[in-house]
A and B are shown apart, each in its own frame.
Chain A
Amino acid sequence: MSTGVRDRPTGQRTYGNWRLGRGAGLFGLGPAGTIAAFLVMVLAAAMLPVSLLASLLTVIFGVLVLAPLAIRVNGRTGIQVITARVAWWLTRARRHHIYVSGVASRATAAHQLPGVLARSEVYEVETGRSGTVAVVVVPQSRHYTVTLRCAPEGLDLVDQAVVDARVAHLASWLSALSREPHLVQAQVTVETTPDPGTRLAAEVAATSRPDAPTLARQVLNDVVESSPAGSATVDTRVSLTYAAPPGRALSHEDVCREVAGRLPHLHAGLTGATGAGITPLSARSLAAVVRAAYDPAVATDLARDPQLTPDWPQAGPVATRESWDAYRHDSAFSRTWCMVEAPRGVVYSRLFARLTDPDPQLLRKRVTMVYRPYPPGDAARLVEADKRDARFLASKKHRPSARDMTDVVAADQAAEEEAAGAGVVRFTVLVTATVADEKQLDEAAGIIRARAGEARLVLRPMYGCQAAGFAAGLPAGVVLPTHSTIPF
C-alpha cells in the first residue's frame, strides 16, 4: 500500500485524497449541466447578430434555470432544495407522511415495512458452508441483499501495526468488491445499543441461587446498584446489494442462489479486516434487526427470546409518522443525518471510530458507511479524467495556486494507485440516532454533531427524507441513489 498524500513526521499511516463524487464540470455544474450551460451560451451568441435583447433574455433565462443546479446548499443543489420542499408539502397534503399497518390500516393488513420496502421479500438460501443465508429482494429495482454479522475486536489496546494490517485488508476487500459483477452497494452498519442498566441486574438475578449465603447476595446487590450500566451492545453488519444480471430472465430464487454462491469468498476477504466470527444473517435475525430498529421497546424481549421475532412481512412498524426533520416509529423517535463533507486533509485510521463508539444517552445509534464501487473500467477513466482536469486547471492560470498544485499531485497519486490495482469507490455516511422521547431529539442532535466533529465529518439532517434515510441504514438493501426522486 502506498503512503498517504502527506505523511506526518511521526510516520503513522494517514489517509485522505478523496473528492466530491461529481463528474468534472464548470461552475459547479455536473457534466449535463455544463453542456446545458454551453448550449445557452452558444444560443445567446448566435442570437447576438439578430437581437441584443433576445440574446440577453436567453442568457437571463439560462442563468435562472441553471443557477439552482449550480448553487449548492449543504451539499444539495438548489433544484433539490426546492423539489424537496414541494415534495414534502405534497406529501403532507396527501397524508403520505403517515403510515399505519395492521387492522387499523386502510392500506395493508400486515405489518409490512413502509415505502420502497413494502414490496420486499426474503428468500432463504443454503450456502453449503455456514448454514442458510437470507436474501432480501426489492423487486422494483431487482436488488438482492445479503447481510453478514461481524464481531470486530476494536482498536483499544491494539498495536498500530495490527490496525494498519486490518485497514489494508479492508482496502483489498473494497477493491475486490469493485471487481464483483453486478454489485451495487456495500454497506457497513455499526449499531450500538447502550445497556439501559437492566442487563447486569438480570444476569445476577438469573444466576443467583435463593439458598445462597446472605453475604454473597448482599455484595452482589451492592455491586449491581453501584454500577448499573453494562457495556453497550455493538452490532456490526455488512450488507451487500447485488442487481439482477441484465438481459437474462432469472427468477428471484436463481439470483438469490447466485448471490449466496459469491458469499464465501467475500466472507474470507472480510475476515482480515474484522477478525474471525463472521456469520451470515438468517431470515429470523434480519427480521429481528429490523423489528428492533422500528420498535426499540421490544428489542430486549427479542434478544431474550428469538422465538418472538415475527416473519419478514410482519417485521415492519405498526405506525410511523414522518416529519420534516424527524421520524416517529412505533415506540421511538429518530433523526437521520447524511454526510455532506468527508474529512478534509488526511485522517488516521482510528478517527472514524469516534463516530461509531456507543453513546449512552441515545436509545440506539446506527452509523452506516455506504460504499458504491465503480467498475474497474469506469475507475480508470475517472482517475485519468481527474488528472487531466487538475492539469488543465493548473495550467490555465499564469500562477497556479497551492491548492491547484496539491490537486494535481493528488490526482496523479490516485491514478497511480488505481494503476497499481486499487479500485475507486464512492462512499457516504448515514447516521441515525434514536431516542425515546421527542424532547430528547435536540440533545441527540448535539451529541451527533459533536461526534461528527470528532470524526471531522460534516453531517446534515436528511430534511424531508427521514423515512427513506432511516430505512437506508437497515440491512434491507435500500439503495438511495437508485430510488432517488431526482437523480442529480
Chain B
Amino acid sequence: MTISTRDRTPPTPPPRRPATRRPGRLGYAGPGGGRWSWIEPPTEYRGTTVQVCGLFPFGTGASTPMIGVPVGRHLYTGSAVCFDPISWYTRARLINNPSVWIEGEPGMGKSTAVRRMVLGLTAQGVTPLILGDLKPDYAQLVRALGGQVLRIGPGLDRINPLDAGPWRQVLDRVDERTGAVVRAAVTDRRLNMLVALATLIRRGPVSSDETTVLAAALRYLAERETDTPPVLSDVLRILRDAPADVRAVTLWQEEQDLPRFREETNGLHRTLLALLHGPLGDTFEGQTTTAIRLDTPAVCVDISGIDDTDELRTAATLLSTWSYGFAQVEAAHLMADLGLAPARTFFTVLDELWRALRVGHGLVDRADGLTRLNRQKGTGTAFITHSLADLEALPTAHDRAKARGFAERSAVLMIGPCSEQELDSVSRVRPLSQAERREVLSWSAPPSWTAAEGGETVGRGNFLIKVGSRPGIPIHLEPTEVEKQLGNTDFRWTMT
C-alpha cells in the first residue's frame, strides 16, 4: 500500500507579499480572499431508508458514446445516436465482436439503416461488401460510391462456387505449415459450399460417407490446382475417374472394388449431374466471370436478376455469393498479414438471410461454416432478416437452434417495427423487457385512422438497439435527401 501526497501544504507564499498567509477555517481573509462568511445548513428531511430510497437519484442513465456512424436520433431525447459494429468493437470496446443483427418488417427502414452504415463506414475507409442484394436496395448506392456492382443471374455474371479467392498467390510466400493451414481452409470452404449445393438440389441431407468422398475429391483437386480454380464438372470428373487417392478414404481401395465404389457413390454422382445439368446448371458451371475487386470503395453483388419465386436458385446464389465474398475477405486478411497488401477493414452485409436458410435441411450449418471468419478483427458483419420467427419453422430442432445461434452470436440486435410473435422469437435470443416490447409494438400500429398530410408509416425508421442485457436504445433514422434518392425501394409506388 503506497501513499503519495499530492500536496501537503499550500504553496509557500511569495515573500514580497506580507499580506499572504495560511487560509483560515473559511478561506483566505481580506479583500479578494473569497472567505465564506455565511454558510447555511440546508433544510433536511428525514425518513427511514426504505422510504428515502424512493427519491431514486440514479434514474438518469449514462448516455451512449458518440462513437461510430450517426444512425439516427434518440426517440425520447432527440439527441444524435452513433452506432456501427466496427467502431463499437474497435474504438468504444462496448461489444465483443463486430456483428449486428438487423430485423424488422419489410419496408420499415432496414435497408435505410444498412445504407447509412455503409455510407458512414465508407467514409471511415472501411470497404462494405453487400453479398447478395435481392431487391436491389444497394446497387445504386454502391455505384454512386464508385464501387463495383456484380450482377449475378442467368445470362449475367457467374460465380464459380469453388472459387476460393486469390489464395494461390499466398501459397508461394508462406512456409510449409501455414501453407497446409491455408490449403485446409480452402478445401473446407469448398466442401461446405458443395455440400450446401448438394443439399439444396436433392432437398435432403448429404450423408457423412458422401461428404468424405467429396472432401477427398476436393483435396485431390486442390493439390493439383494451377492458377485457375476447379469448377463443378472437375469434381464430377474426379468422381468418375475415381483415382486411388479419392478411393483411399472409402472401404473400396483396391482396383477390383471400383464397381462397388461406383455403386456407392451413385447418389452423389446423380446429385452432381443434377447440379450441372439441372435447372441451376447455367448459374454454377464454369469459372467466375467477373472477380470481386476489393480495392474499390464498396462491392455489391446484385442478384435481383434471379426470379424472386425461384427459391432454389436464390438460396444457391446467396450461398455461393457468401462463400466467394468471405473467401475474398479471408484472402485479403491473409495477404495483409503477410505484408503483401495494405490492411483493410471490411463490412459484410448478408441481406435476407432467411431466404437462404429456410430452403433446405442442414443449410443453417453450411451457412454458418461459410460465413465464419478466422480473423474476425478486420471484418464487421450485418445479418439482415425480416423475421426470426420464420426460422422457427425450420424442420429440425437442431436447425432452429443453429439459426438462433446467428442472432445469439451477434453482439448487437437492431429491432425494427415487428409483430408480437416476432418479438417472442427475439426474446428467446435476447431477453426483452415488457417496456421494450411495448415500445417496439407501438411502432407498427397507426396512431389514428386519419392519415396526416404527407404522413409516413408510423414506425418506419425506428429501431431498438440492444446491446447485451442493457436497456435498448430507441432511435429514429431519418434518411437525408440524398439517401432518399439513392434507395427508393418503393419507386413503383411513386406516382408521377
Contacts and interface: CB of A to CB of B under 8 A. Distances in A.
Given A96-B31, A158-B433, A356-B60, A207 B87 contact: yes
A450 interface: no
A386 to B, nearest CB: 9
Given A108-B23, A114-B27, A428-B42, A349 B56 contact: yes
Nearest to B470: A153
B46 A21 contact: yes
A91 B3 contact: no
B417 to A, nearest CB: 15
Interface string A215-248: 1111110111011111111101000000000000
Interface in A354-404: 356-358, 367, 369-374, 382-383
Q: Which of B2, B47, B145 has the most CB of A within 10 A?
A: B47
A220 B46 contact: no
B368 interface: no
The SS class assigned to the A binding surface is: mixed
B433 to A, nearest CB: 4
Contacts of A358: 60, 77
Nearest to B64: A231
A122 B6 contact: yes
A480 B435 contact: no
A106 B41 contact: no
Given A204-B70, A216-B122, A227-B73, A91 B38 contact: yes
8 contacts: A15-B55, A19-B46, A88-B37, A107-B19, A125-B3, A140-B25, A171-B49, A227-B79
B40 A106 contact: no
A371 B52 contact: yes
The SS class assigned to the B binding surface is: loop
Contact of B483 (A119, A168, A219, A485): A219
B415 to A, nearest CB: 12
B8 interface: yes
Nearest to A460: B43
Given A95-B31, A116-B26, A313 B7 contact: yes
Nearest to A273: B58
A117 B124 CA distance: 47
Contacts of A157: 433, 435-436, 439, 464, 471-472, 474
Given A118-B23, A220-B69, A483-B39, 12 more contacts: A21-B46, A105-B32, A156-B435, A157-B471, A157-B474, A283-B6, A342-B45, A353-B60, A374-B46, A425-B47, A429-B55, A464-B38
Contact of B40 (A18, A167, A350, A485): A485
Q: Which of A95, A115, A188, A231 has the most CB of B within 10 A?
A: A231
B484 to A, nearest CB: 11
A118 B28 contact: yes
Interface in A270-309: 273-274, 283
Interface of B: 1-8, 10-11, 13-14, 17, 19-20, 22-23, 25-64, 66-70, 73-74, 76-82, 87, 116, 119-120, 122-125, 144-146, 297, 433-436, 439, 464, 470-472, 474, 478, 480-483
A154 B61 contact: yes
A153 B26 CA distance: 39
Nearest to B68: A203
A111 B62 CA distance: 31
Pairs A-B, 3 closest by C-beta atoms? A154-B61, A15-B54, A99-B34
A96 B33 contact: yes
Contacts of B122: 212-213, 216
Contacts of A322: 34
B80 A229 contact: yes
A369 B6 CA distance: 29
B37 to A, nearest CB: 4
A126 B2 contact: yes
Contact of A207 (B8, B10, B30, B124): B124
B141 to A, nearest CB: 8
Contact of B42 (A14, A195, A480): A480
A147 interface: no
Contacts of A418: 48
Contact of A158 (B54, B63, B435): B435
A83 B74 contact: no
B62 A152 contact: yes
A239 to B, nearest CB: 12
A340 interface: yes
A51 interface: no
Contacts of A429: 55
B3 A16 contact: no
A406 interface: no
Contact of A347 (B48, B49, B54): B54
A462 interface: yes
Contacts of A50: none
A220 B436 contact: no
Nearest to A321: B34
A124 B48 contact: no
B121 to A, nearest CB: 8
A199 interface: yes
Contact of B36 (A115, A204, A313, A481): A115
A106 B61 contact: no
A158 B60 CA distance: 12
A371 to B, nearest CB: 7
A207 B8 CA distance: 44
Contacts of B44: 20-21, 372, 426-428, 481
Nearest to A354: B59
Given A107-B30, A124-B3, A347-B55, A119 B60 contact: no
Nearest to A122: B6
A96 B37 contact: yes
Contact of B79 (A195, A257, A347): A195
A235 to B, nearest CB: 8
B18 to A, nearest CB: 10
A89 B8 CA distance: 35
A162 interface: yes
A487 interface: yes
Contacts of B79: 195, 227, 229-232
Contact of B480 (A168, A222, A339, A424): A222
A166 B56 contact: yes
A440 interface: no
Nearest to A342: B45
Contacts of A231: 63-64, 66, 74, 77, 79-81
Contacts of B69: 220
A100 interface: yes
Nearest to A235: B62
Nearest to A483: B39
A465 B40 contact: yes
A96 B35 contact: yes
Q: Which of B28, B67, B81, B120 has the most CB of A within 10 A?
A: B28
Given A20-B45, A121-B6, A151-B62, A369 B57 contact: yes
Nearest to B432: A157
B5 to A, nearest CB: 6
Interface in A424-442: 424-430
Contacts of A106: 17, 19-20, 30-33
Contact of B435 (A21, A94, A159, A212): A159
A468 interface: yes
B50 A2 contact: yes
Contact of B125 (A20, A209, A464): A209
A335 B120 CA distance: 42
B80 A423 contact: no
A19 B31 contact: no
B62 A234 contact: yes
Contacts of B33: 96, 99, 106-107
